[in-house]
């Protein structure tokens, strides 16, 4: 039996940081962001559908998706964001479960499902355990602005587009507090890994 461990949090709360620590501990990760980029590779069904919906300017001359252009287009426009989700979510979902199935066939005891919109897209319903990485609102805003070079307004708009982090924390089975140093986060991840290994 393979257990599915959902890993989620807010935007810039530290999901990738925690997911990298779990990978270093030897746990297999299915990374939704990475899968999304794979699904949106040049010439893909996804890109053709996106170009039809949002115009050819969202494709770069080299055939890759212009993420900045697409991001600007949808974050100002709820209907456009819904259309983007309607196109992408089924394709991403299929690719994610395909990746999970491949790992299940290898009989690994645990698979980490690193999905930013885990609750919003209801992946939690298929998880045996959900881990939420949390930070304070101030830290989230500061780290998002620094990482993505967003203004405070741009960062706030992206945070507001997701389910409140406090709600994710309330629904979590395990919470990792990433507000302090990386060392403190590393200690919490080590505890989680031990917990997962003891349960196998
Ligand atoms: N404990 C921490 N201390 C300082 N910076 C951190 C810490 N955790 C993450 N970061 C930084 O904050 C940003 C967001 O972290 P990341 O793991 O990319 O978040 P997510 O994957 O949730 O969007 C990154 O630039 C990362 O290097
Ligand atoms: Mg990330």
Summarised one tens digit per residue, pLDDT across range 166-190 is 999 999 999 999 999 999 999 999 9
Q: Is 19 in the pocket of ligand 1 (CB under 6 A)?
A: no
Whether residues 17 and 63 fall in one domain: no
- pLDDT of 74 reads 87
Ligand in closest contact with the CA of 20: 1
pLDDT per residue over 41-66, tens digit each? 999 999 999 999 999 999 999 999 99
Ligand in closest contact with the CA of 181: 1
Q: What value does the mean pLDDT take over residues 94-118?
A: 97
Q: Is 17 in the pocket of ligand 1 (CB under 6 A)?
A: yes
Q: Please report, for the domain that includes residue 132, its CATH number.
A: 3.40.50.300
Residue ending a domain, choose from 78, 107, 136: 107
Whether residues 116 and 102 fall in one domain: no
Distance (Å) of CA 119 to CA 10, 30, 106, 154, 170: 11, 16, 27, 23, 12
Kind of pairing between the strands at 29-31 and 3-9: unpaired
Whether residues 75 and 144 fall in one domain: no
Whether residues 41 and 69 fall in one domain: yes
pLDDT per residue over 21-44, tens digit each? 999 999 999 999 999 999 999 999
Segments forming the whole domain that contains residue 67:
34-107
Whether residues 186 and 118 fall in one domain: yes
Rounded Cα distance between 125 and 106, Å, is 23
């Amino acid at each position: 039996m393979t257990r599915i461990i959902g890993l989620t949090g807010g935007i810039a709360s530290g999901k990738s940081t925690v997911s990298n620590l779990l990978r270093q501990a030897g746990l297999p990760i299915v990374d939704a962001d990475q899968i999304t980029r794979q699904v949106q590779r040049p010439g893909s069904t996804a890109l053709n559908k996106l170009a039809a919906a949002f115009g050819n300017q969202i494709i770069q001359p080299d055939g890759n998706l212009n993420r900045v252009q697409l991001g600007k287009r949808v974050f100002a426009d709820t209907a456009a964001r819904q259309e983007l989700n309607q196109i992408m979510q089924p394709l991403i979902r299929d690719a994610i479960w395909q990746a999970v199935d491949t790992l299940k066939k290898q009989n690994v005891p645990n698979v980490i499902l690193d999905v930013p919109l885990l609750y919003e897209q209801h992946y939690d319903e298929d998880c045996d355990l959900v881990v939420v990485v949390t930070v304070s609102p101030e830290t989230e805003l500061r780290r998002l602005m620094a990482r993505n070079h967003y203004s405070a307004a741009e960062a706030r708009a992206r945070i507001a587009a997701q389910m409140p982090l406090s709600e994710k924390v309330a629904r979590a089975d395990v919470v990792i507090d990433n507000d302090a140093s990386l060392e403190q986060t590393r200690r919490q991840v080590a505890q989680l890994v031990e917990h997962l290994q003891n349960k196998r």
